[in-house]
């Protein structure tokens, strides 16, 4: 059982009675108090992962900014913590900008991303004082120039070009973003990135300050990241030769692989930082590029995934003779679309009987009206009964942000646990919440 706890938040323990505890709180009690499905986030893990990322890079490079990729999971309490700890943010929507602003973020620590930024979002970002944008297409350049010049007084905007270096990250196709056929970024080989750079240089209110790449998520193959780094440094050297490009910021994206089950090993951030910074130093030196460069990393999942667990109540156990047995829970694709979207694999346990041996195999079925709503095809569990509390670890990233109201089922509540205290940070949705935007005409 101790091996399996490695997937759980740092503070996870098993009580003598075999019950899961996180942040000093008994999972069974949390489920009783707040209901299920319930997402539990561990403060200690959130703190530890952020500090580890910052320390790993800051101890090896003179100027480092760790941006948290808010798409992984974002909420006002998290924004406040990250601001206190000195992280920056990678944001993609107006609501993310609003949360960041309310948390008091320095706009200089916010970078705006997206492959289709609307003019309203760009305007909201400029109004907030944000001045760093990652350019993903030619419309970004024209829209930014138009909107920055229309501000009173006109604003100067710093642009990083998102490169598509045509390198395969060897992850799921839906999480691969650095190949030629990707909706993200601008191609190096086909000249699109260079054309965007030249357009930025010609725009009076835009400054070309750096390069960005993010070749995918759940990347365990660090050779691919290193290859991408080399390709991007080649671009920097080429642009310097062609139009005196002043390379001041390099954003190497996120995508740090996280283990969701025993067959995977979470990317070692220390080793990754060591390899990346030494490759960067050598690569800059070999091309006589300036080492006085701001290095930006933007992990999402790597900072938050392991901090969360999802708790579900078992409502039905259906044994189909000669076929298989289904354990039906009160969540599913509505709060975790990842298994259906890209075959993400998970493990499950019984939070109320953690010490019992896993003697049975079940499919973990969600409650939504789709046959594909199966969170785990083959889960090894103790003999499971109605009323058991099923827990799925590594639930902190890309679950709640992609949650839906399919079947008009309210999205779950979220609690933050620390030192025996549980704070509700998002209440469970109500029927009224879900119907609030409908007009009965
Ligand atoms: C541009 C960019 N940066 C960072 C991330 C974060 O990726 P991950 O959560 O896998 O670290 C993403 C994820 O889609 C992204 O698109």
CA of 313 to the centre of ligand 1 (A): 31
For residues 387 and 370, give the distance between their C-alpha atoms in angstroms, rounded to a whole number: 23
Once rounded to an integer, what is the mean pLDDT over residues 246-270?
Answer: 95
Asked whether the beta carbons of 237 and 245 are under 8 A apart, the reply is no
For residues 160 and 152, give the distance between their C-alpha atoms in angstroms, rounded to a whole number: 24
CA of 68 to the centre of ligand 1 (A): 9
For residues 55 and 269, give the distance between their C-alpha atoms in angstroms, rounded to a whole number: 10
CA of 71 to the centre of ligand 1 (A): 7
For residues 187 and 194, give the distance between their C-alpha atoms in angstroms, rounded to a whole number: 9
Report which protein residue has its CA nearest ligand 1's atom 16.
214
Q: Which of 176-180, 211-215, 382-386, 427-431 has the lowest mean pLDDT?
A: 176-180
Once rounded to an integer, what is the mean pLDDT over residues 32-41?
Answer: 98
SS3 of residue 248 by DSSP: coil
- Cβ-in-10-Å burial (0-12, 13-18, 19+) of 321 comes to exposed
The mean pLDDT of the chain is 95
pLDDT digits (tens, 9 = 90+) for 340-371: 999 999 999 999 999 999 999 999 999 999 99
pLDDT attached to residue 180: 72
For residues 292 and 78, give the distance between their C-alpha atoms in angstroms, rounded to a whole number: 31
pLDDT digits (tens, 9 = 90+) for 71-102: 999 999 999 999 999 999 999 999 999 999 99
Asked whether the beta carbons of 166 and 192 are under 8 A apart, the reply is no
pLDDT digits (tens, 9 = 90+) for 100-158: 999 999 999 999 999 999 999 999 999 999 999 999 999 999 999 999 999 999 999 99
CA of 155 to the centre of ligand 1 (A): 28
DSSP state of 222: H
Asked whether the beta carbons of 312 and 228 are under 8 A apart, the reply is no
Report which protein residue has its CA nearest ligand 1's atom 4.
254
Rg (CA), the chain: 23
Tell me which CATH code domain 2-42+305-435 carries: 2.40.37.10
For residues 229 and 406, give the distance between their C-alpha atoms in angstroms, rounded to a whole number: 41
Determine the atom of ligand 1 nearest the C-alpha atom of 162: 1
SS3 of residue 283 by DSSP: helix
Which of 49, 53, 69 to mutate for ligand 1's pocket (most ligand atoms within 8 Å of CB)? Answer: 69
Q: How many helices (H) and strands (E) does the chain have?
A: 13, 21
pLDDT attached to residue 165: 84
CA of 183 to the centre of ligand 1 (A): 14
Q: CB under 6 Å to ligand 1: residues? A: 69, 71-72, 90, 113, 214, 217, 253-256, 298-302
For residues 358 and 380, give the distance between their C-alpha atoms in angstroms, rounded to a whole number: 5
Determine the atom of ligand 1 nearest the C-alpha atom of 254: 11
Q: Do domains 2-42+305-435 and 113-299 have the same CATH topology?
A: no
Once rounded to an integer, what is the mean pLDDT over residues 413-417?
Answer: 98
For residues 440 and 374, give the distance between their C-alpha atoms in angstroms, rounded to a whole number: 34
Question: Confidence band (pLDDT; 50, 70, 90) for 170?
Answer: low
DSSP state of 188: S
Angle at which helices 222-243 and 192-202 cross, to 10°: 50
Which of 254, 272, 305 to mutate for ligand 1's pocket (most ligand atoms within 8 Å of CB)? Answer: 254
Q: Is 129 left (phi over 0), alpha (psi -120 to 50) or beta?
A: left
pLDDT digits (tens, 9 = 90+) for 173-226: 666 666 777 888 999 999 999 999 999 999 999 999 999 999 888 988 888 889
Sketch the domain layout of the chain as residue ranges: 2-42+305-435, 113-299
159 catalytic per annotation: no
Which of 220, 298, 396, 400 to mutate for ligand 1's pocket (most ligand atoms within 8 Å of CB)? Answer: 298
Element housing 212 (H / E): strand 206-212
Element housing 160 (H / E): strand 157-164
For residues 318 and 307, give the distance between their C-alpha atoms in angstroms, rounded to a whole number: 32
C-alpha closest to that of 418 among 45, 51, 33? 45
Strand partners, 13: 21
Determine the atom of ligand 1 nearest the C-alpha atom of 72: 9
Once rounded to an integer, what is the mean pLDDT over residues 276-284?
Answer: 97
Q: Which of 25, 159, 369, 437 is catalytic?
A: 369
Determine the atom of ligand 1 nearest the C-alpha atom of 303: 11
pLDDT attached to residue 172: 66
pLDDT digits (tens, 9 = 90+) for 282-320: 999 999 999 999 999 999 999 999 999 999 999 999 999
Six-digit token string for 343: 């075959």
Which residue reads 């920055």 in tokens?
Answer: 148
pLDDT attached to residue 174: 63
Report which protein residue has its CA nearest ligand 1's atom 10.
255
CA of 218 to the centre of ligand 1 (A): 9
pLDDT attached to residue 374: 98
Beta-carbon neighbour count of residue 194 at 10 Å? 19
Residue 1 has pLDDT above 60, yes or no: no
Q: Which of 221-235, 312-326, 390-404 has the lowest mean pLDDT?
A: 221-235
Please tell me the pTM assigned to this model: 0.96
CA of 298 to the centre of ligand 1 (A): 7
Which of 253, 266, 301, 396 to mutate for ligand 1's pocket (most ligand atoms within 8 Å of CB)? Answer: 253
Determine the atom of ligand 1 nearest the C-alpha atom of 256: 11
Six-digit token string for 161: 């070009």
What kind of fold does domain 113-299 have according to CATH? TIM Barrel (3.20.20)
Determine the atom of ligand 1 nearest the C-alpha atom of 300: 9
CA of 119 to the centre of ligand 1 (A): 22
Asked whether the beta carbons of 210 and 250 are under 8 A apart, the reply is yes
Once rounded to an integer, what is the mean pLDDT over residues 36-56?
Answer: 98
SS3 of residue 402 by DSSP: helix
């Amino acid at each position: 059982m101790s091996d399996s706890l490695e997937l759980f938040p740092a503070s996870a323990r098993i009580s003598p009675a075999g019950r899961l505890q996180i942040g000093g709180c008994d999972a069974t009690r949390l489920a009783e108090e707040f209901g299920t499905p319930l997402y539990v986030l561990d403060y200690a893990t959130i703190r530890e992962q952020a500090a580890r990322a910052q320390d790993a890079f800051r101890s090896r490079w003179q100027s480092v900014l760790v941006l948290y990729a808010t798409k992984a999971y974002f909420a006002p309490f998290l924004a406040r913590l990250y601001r206190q700890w000195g992280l920056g943010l990678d944001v993609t929507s107006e609501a993310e900008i609003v949360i960041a602003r309310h948390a008091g973020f320095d706009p200089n620590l916010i970078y705006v991303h997206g492959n289709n930024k609307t003019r309203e979002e760009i305007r909201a970002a400029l109004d907030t004082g944000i001045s760093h944008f990652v350019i993903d297409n030619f419309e970004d350049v024209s829209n930014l120039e138009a909107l920055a010049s229309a501000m009173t007084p006109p604003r100067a905007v710093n642009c990083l070009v998102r490169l598509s270096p045509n390198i395969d990250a060897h992850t799921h196709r839906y999480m691969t973003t650095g190949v030629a056929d990707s909706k993200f970024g601008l191609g190096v080989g086909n000249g699109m990135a260079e054309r965007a750079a030249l357009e930025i240089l010609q725009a009076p209110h835009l400054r070309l300050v750096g390069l960005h790449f993010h070749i995918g998520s759940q990347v365990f193959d660090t050779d691919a990241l290193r290859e991408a780094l080399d390709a991007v440094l080649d671009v920097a050297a080429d642009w310097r030769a062609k139009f005196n490009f002043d390379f001041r910021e390099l954003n190497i994206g996120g995508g740090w692989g996280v283990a969701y089950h025993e067959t995977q090993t979470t990317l070692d951030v220390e080793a990754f930082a060591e390899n990346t910074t030494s490759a960067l130093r050598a690569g800059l030196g070999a091309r006589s590029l300036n080492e006085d460069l701001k290095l930006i990393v933007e992990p999402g999942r790597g900072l938050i995934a392991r901090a969360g667990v999802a708790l579900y109540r078992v409502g039905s156990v259906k044994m189909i003779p000669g076929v298989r047995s289904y354990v039906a829970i009160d969540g599913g694709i509505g709060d975790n679309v990842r298994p259906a979207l890209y075959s993400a694999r998970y493990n499950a346990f019984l939070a109320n009987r953690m010490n019992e041996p896993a003697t049975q195999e079940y499919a973990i079925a969600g409650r939504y009206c789709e046959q594909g709503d199966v969170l785990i095809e083959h889960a090894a569990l103790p003999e499971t009964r109605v009323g058991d509390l099923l827990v799925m670890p590594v639930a902190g990233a890309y679950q709640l942000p992609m949650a839906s109201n399919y079947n008009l089922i309210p999205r779950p509540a979220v609690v933050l646990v620390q030192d025996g205290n549980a704070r509700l940070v998002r209440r469970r949705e109500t029927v009224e919440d879900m119907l609030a935007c409908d007009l009965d005409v």
